Copies of this chain bind each other. A is one copy, B any other.
């Protein structure tokens, strides 16, 4: 019997936290002890895990003593608030927020793409943005063979990206509209039911929103390709769960569609979904609850001899968040990387 580990989930009651719990169970993650941490507001409620009732605890300074792995999904400010305590306690934090992703000393890891980056961690490993993870898994197998020079991405992001309450809001708005009433927007800035709008993350001076710049900057860091040119338009659509992306890729020379297809059939974390006769390609309802990123409609770009078009759907909560975090934890265990790397002069 292998070793098992003491795991804490910080933000155990959110959409990603719930999925983390489910995945720890489904994947038989070697848990010796599981601590569920959340804000004082959620403390005291109970959650079932592998037949046991676990009580959610309010997070405090001593929460991370005797913990090996902290899976954090409570937002950037909470991650920043507790990171020192986590690292001081000797645990590794795998953080779902954007707080540390672009810090040079924090590895940003998609296990199918850059597992080697995890080895350099100093106690914190960042889990990338959901749209970035899904795109990375799908296009990295091509990038390895012929470097991608430019990506033009358009996203179709589900309500789940804004959390469980946004998913509920879309349902309520749908009912209101179907009953001839005005939909109310309380979680999201505008009604999303039967509507869509550009992603509502903060706009930067460039006109790009944070979500789009995450796709740009995080993909570069994960691929180790600082010069990779990327532009993105991120859009929220009235889908409950699973994001979709239309991806236009440019290389320095032609990339045969058949070659791309062969590579993606073999690629880890990818499922090729293409039935050209039935006009059947990846759809968010089919990607929901699946581990793999569904990829299809691989086409030679008719506007560019060195271009490829592809279409993908992936479960934003699963591979786009919780699953990727757990895969990072599994990688740390497998490669014996739970202790931080030694850093000269630190």
A: which residues have CB within 8 A of B?
150-152, 154, 156, 170-171, 174-175, 178, 189-191, 194-198, 200, 202-203, 206-209, 216, 229-231, 233, 235, 237-240, 244, 246, 248, 257, 276, 278-281, 283-285, 297-304, 307, 309, 311
Contact = CB atoms under 8 A, between A and B. Distances in A.
B230 A283 contact: no
A215 to B, nearest CB: 11
Contact of A248 (B152, B197, B301, B307): B152
Contacts of A175: 178
Nearest to A199: B279
A318 B244 CA distance: 28
A197 to B, nearest CB: 5
A198 B248 contact: no
Contacts of A194: 170, 238-240, 285
Contacts of A208: 299, 302
Contact of A156 (B156, B203, B230, B311): B156
Contact of A285 (B150, B154, B191, B248): B191
Given A309-B233, A311-B233, A206 B303 contact: no
Given A175-B178, A178-B174, A301 B231 contact: yes
B151 A311 contact: no
